[in-house]
Amino acid sequence: MPYQTLYRIWRPRRFAEIVGQGHVVRTLQNAVTTGRVAHAYLFCGPRGTGKTSAAKVLAKAVNCTNRAGAEPCDTCSSCVAIAAGTALDVLEIDAASNRGVDEVRELREKVKFRPATGGFKVYIVDEVHMLTNEAFNALLKTLEEPPEHVIFVLATTEPHKLPLTIVSRCQRFDFRRIGKPELVARLEEVSARAGLLVEPGVFDLIARVADGSLRDALGILDQAAALGENRITLADLHSLLGTVAGEVLERLVGHLVSGETGAALLLLREVEAGGKELRIFARELTDYLRRLLMDAFNGDKPAAALSGLRRDDLIELLTLFARAEQEMRLATRQIIPLELAVVTAAQKLRPAPEAPGKAVCPGRAKAPEAERVWASVLAEFRRQNPPVGPWLARAEPVFDGPHKLVLAFREELAKEKVAAPENKVMLEKILNRYFPGGMRVVCVLSREQGEP
């Protein structure tokens, strides 16, 4: 027996198995049970959302000799033949492959004959928008006066390309992108039944990449299962998809938050050297930033390494990297727009120490020398205390006299972290190397104008 893809094996056989299209399924079920099936349906929606599967289930339902409610039995000779693609009365035309001229001409000649086995003749035309004008006209003639025993199901990803004369003669259903929870649930079910061993996080990643298409999701699962001999690890999946672990994205953004431009650039080069497609990486990065931004608006806290990020920063980052992603399409060296975005982001998130800082405490200016020292102190503190380093980096330092350093924070949480006794002591110890007379640290909350 030839190898069958998971998508084929787990293709919905009944209405109840169609994932994520409740509104379509309910209407079709009602039509079947009440005997009010239309003569022409238009199934619109993104690829892999179940349009042709639904068409085949409908074909089975109207021809099944042993139907239970709206559901086909899937065992009678008609059901079996339709599932196997050998039924004489169910014709599938793929307009994308040959633009359908011959098939539609043949269809026009044969459509008037009654079905071979009773019931209905069902014509399923996939990617119907690809038909030639000639084929459209032929199809239209048939749609204008469809014989009693014929049902057309026209499926398309691009309904706007269809002539209105066709659209107006069909009952239209819009298939939607399948939601992530529904995709994950279906992936879990299929994996369990196929006996796959799957590492946590795999389904989430597949669902994210598949972007609402169940066919794509199952296709990825299939490839990953083949690669790992029925054991799917996140690492294998990342190498298969050309994606990177979420941790890499977090690290990159973390570098930007801490003003570590060099480290961020190095990370980009590592990603490129690892054979990853940089455009996929850019896409993942913008997706990641977008999720962080959504979380920020929902009041969710970001991961520890990114705790210094504010909404404004996220908007800035997302804008920069979305633009980079766009520019990469035209760039001969894909890494350059990304590198530029990294450098710009680092500058915007954390102004260079040389730049004149905003005077948070009016009247107490900061000397360039103090700025230089502060950069060294900050670097040393980060080395000794990586978790709190990014918090400290968010402070605006003002040397107030020879023995007092005022750290102004815009975020209460940042202030609390740095002001914690053990952290403050560590900072003062580092400061004492530069200021032998001793330096006391005072943490305050700054209120800039225009900010809450």
Which residues contact Zn ion (rule: CB under 5 A)?
A: 64, 66, 72-73, 76, 79
What is the CB neighbour count within 10 angstroms for residue 266?
12
For the bound state, the minimum distance from the C-beta of residue 31 to Zn ion, rounded and expressed in Å, comes to 17
Nearer to Zn ion, 61 or 408 (CB): 61
DSSP 337-374: HHHHHHHHHHHHHS--TTSPPP-SSTT----HHHHHHH
Nearer to Zn ion, 76 or 343 (CB): 76
For the bound state, the minimum distance from the C-beta of residue 77 to Zn ion, rounded and expressed in Å, comes to 8
Nearer to Zn ion, 55 or 392 (CB): 55
Nearer to Zn ion, 62 or 232 (CB): 62
Please state, in angstroms and rounded to a whole number, the distance separating the CA atoms of residues 52 and 75: 20
For the bound state, the minimum distance from the C-beta of residue 29 to Zn ion, rounded and expressed in Å, comes to 15
Residue 440 contacts residue 405 (beta carbons within 8 Å): yes
Using the structure block, give the residue that is written with the tokens 């009944």.
Answer: 14
Nearer to Zn ion, 66 or 97 (CB): 66
Residue 50 contacts residue 91 (beta carbons within 8 Å): no
For the bound state, the minimum distance from the C-beta of residue 61 to Zn ion, rounded and expressed in Å, comes to 8
Cα dihedral 184, 185, 191, 193 in deg (nearest 10): -170
For the bound state, the minimum distance from the C-beta of residue 121 to Zn ion, rounded and expressed in Å, comes to 17
Q: Residue 452 burial by CB count (10 A; 0-12/13-18/19+): exposed, middle or buried?
A: exposed
Tokens of 262: 């060099």
For the bound state, the minimum distance from the C-beta of residue 11 to Zn ion, rounded and expressed in Å, comes to 16
Nearer to Zn ion, 73 or 379 (CB): 73
Residue 374 contacts residue 359 (beta carbons within 8 Å): no
For the bound state, the minimum distance from the C-beta of residue 80 to Zn ion, rounded and expressed in Å, comes to 8
Q: Name residue 68's beta-bridge partners.
A: 71
Nearer to Zn ion, 17 or 327 (CB): 17
Question: What residues contact 137, with CB distance under 8 A and at least 6 apart?
Answer: none
Q: How much helix, strand and coil, in percent to the nearest 5, is found in the chain? A: 55, 10, 35
What is the CB neighbour count within 10 angstroms for residue 336?
14
Nearer to Zn ion, 72 or 308 (CB): 72
362-397 as b/e: b if 16+ CB within 10 A: eeeebeeebbebbeebbbbbbeebeebbbbbbbbbb
Residue 58 contacts residue 182 (beta carbons within 8 Å): no
Strands (E), 157-237: 171-174, 197-198, 231-232
Nearer to Zn ion, 79 or 217 (CB): 79
CA nearest to 264, candidates 246, 283, 248: 248
Question: What residues contact 70, with CB distance under 8 A and at least 6 apart?
Answer: 15, 28, 29, 30, 32, 33, 61
Nearer to Zn ion, 66 or 376 (CB): 66
For the bound state, the minimum distance from the C-beta of residue 124 to Zn ion, rounded and expressed in Å, comes to 18
CA nearest to 63, candidates 50, 82, 49: 82
For the bound state, the minimum distance from the C-beta of residue 67 to Zn ion, rounded and expressed in Å, comes to 6
For the bound state, the minimum distance from the C-beta of residue 43 to Zn ion, rounded and expressed in Å, comes to 22
Using the structure block, give the residue that is written with the tokens 């009440």.
Answer: 34
Nearer to Zn ion, 64 or 135 (CB): 64
Nearer to Zn ion, 73 or 185 (CB): 73
For the bound state, the minimum distance from the C-beta of residue 111 to Zn ion, rounded and expressed in Å, comes to 24
For the bound state, the minimum distance from the C-beta of residue 76 to Zn ion, rounded and expressed in Å, comes to 3
Residue 43 contacts residue 30 (beta carbons within 8 Å): no
